[in-house]
Amino acid sequence: MSVEQRHRLILRQVRDRGSARVADLAEALGVSAVTLRRDVEHLAAQGLLTRVHGGVTLPAEAPTPRAGALTVGMLVPTAHYYYPAVIKGAQEQAARAGARLVLGISRYEDAEDRAQVRQLVKDGADGLLLTPSRQPDGSHVEWLAGLSVPAVLVERRAEPAGPAATLDAVASDHAHGAYLAARHLAELGHRGLALVAYPSPTTPGIRAGLLAGASALGLDAPAEIVIDRDRIDEVVAGVLGLVRARGVTGLLVHNDEDALTLVRHLVAAGVDIPGEVSLVAYDDEVAAFCSPSLTAVAPPKEEVGRCAVDLLIARLTAGAAPVGRHVALLPELRPRESSAAPSL
């Protein structure tokens, strides 16, 4: 870790807590107390910290920014699927607060995540709404620690031992969403379920929720098929095998676009939906436009965007560092034509 990265991390820790002990900072950064004191002296000389006995605080004279003067930088992996509603919610909430929202799009590329964030900060972002291209892991530690402005993690899990654990975060509770799908199918009389999902940062939560839901509802352990979009015929064959040979009568498919593709292939193979198999899509982006229209789990995308802006503005404008918050918002199930009681 470079000196500059260490300085940024010290400032972030103090900004998040309001104050910090030198010993605690040294332990958190893995450096000696002597090195940490040298860093503190340098930052205090620049007016960025105030030294107190055994620790540091933010300068008392540091002005608290007004929400109306803020620029919010927002990083999303795409503006074409799922995230338009998140962006809309964030934009509306920023406008209500008089703040300006500036968007960066990474196209699901790690390097572009970092490049877009650098540009957003360079262009004057006071804080960031971050949706990295994938779930933060060890490769994100230095990047997240080195952020020079406050950030809120959006639609990614802030795992307890993960690199984003100390960030404010808001996300749809996808495990709860999958549970709603399992409960809906169970109430219709289905016992054999399967998850058909494309690997994404959302998938682990959906899988966990479906497994937990099936167990709690006394259903058989769900099967799973991983979607390979380059081998869709194999995916369809696998689903047909589950439906016609293994007694699966209820499918949860992530995401909507994959659900539409699967429905088209299943119907072409002579499968009656929902007569032979019921299907629930996950995301509810285009599920209503299928024939039959698809029952879907709908994450609260606009509310996620609104909540993310609220968290960031609270972080930026509070006189003292607010308590960190990890917010989970509950999806809803929207029944349509693709789910019904199983045929006898």
* CA 220 to the chain's CA centroid: 29
* CA 314 to the chain's CA centroid: 19
Q: Is 266 domain-assigned?
A: yes
**Same domain, yes or no, for 165 and 260?**
no
CATH number at residue 122: 3.40.50.2300
Q: Is 344 domain-assigned?
A: no
**Same domain, yes or no, for 310 and 161?**
yes
Q: Is 336 domain-assigned?
A: no
Q: Is 339 domain-assigned?
A: no
pTM for this predicted structure: 0.81
Q: Is 267 domain-assigned?
A: yes
* Strand ordering across the sheet containing 193-197: 223-226, 193-197, 250-254, 278-282, 295-298, 332-334
Q: Which two tokens stand for residue 281?
A: 């899509």
* Chain segment 100-128, per-residue pLDDT in tens: 999 999 999 999 999 999 999 999 999 99
- pLDDT score at 62: 47
Residues 247 and 245: their CA atoms lie apart, in Å, by 6
**Same domain, yes or no, for 249 and 199?**
yes
Partners of 76 in beta bridges: 105
**Same domain, yes or no, for 197 and 288?**
yes
**Same domain, yes or no, for 118 and 235?**
no
Q: Is 294 domain-assigned?
A: yes
- pLDDT score at 23: 86
- pLDDT score at 43: 81
Residues 311 and 327: their CA atoms lie apart, in Å, by 9
**Same domain, yes or no, for 186 and 268?**
yes
Q: Which domain holds residue 46?
A: 3-57
How many domains does the chain fold into?
A: 3
Q: Is 93 domain-assigned?
A: yes
**Same domain, yes or no, for 112 and 147?**
yes
**Same domain, yes or no, for 164 and 227?**
no
Q: Is 334 domain-assigned?
A: no
**Same domain, yes or no, for 164 and 92?**
yes
Provide CB contacts within 8 A for 7, sequence distance 6+.
Answer: 39, 42, 43
Intervals of the chain under pLDDT 70 = 1, 60-68, 319-321, 344
Residue with tokens 């960025």: 48
**Same domain, yes or no, for 188 and 127?**
no
- pLDDT score at 319: 62
State the maximum Cα–Cα separation within the chain, in Å, rounded to a whole number: 78
CATH number at residue 50: 1.10.10.10
**Same domain, yes or no, for 88 and 200?**
no
- pLDDT score at 321: 66
**Same domain, yes or no, for 90 and 203?**
no
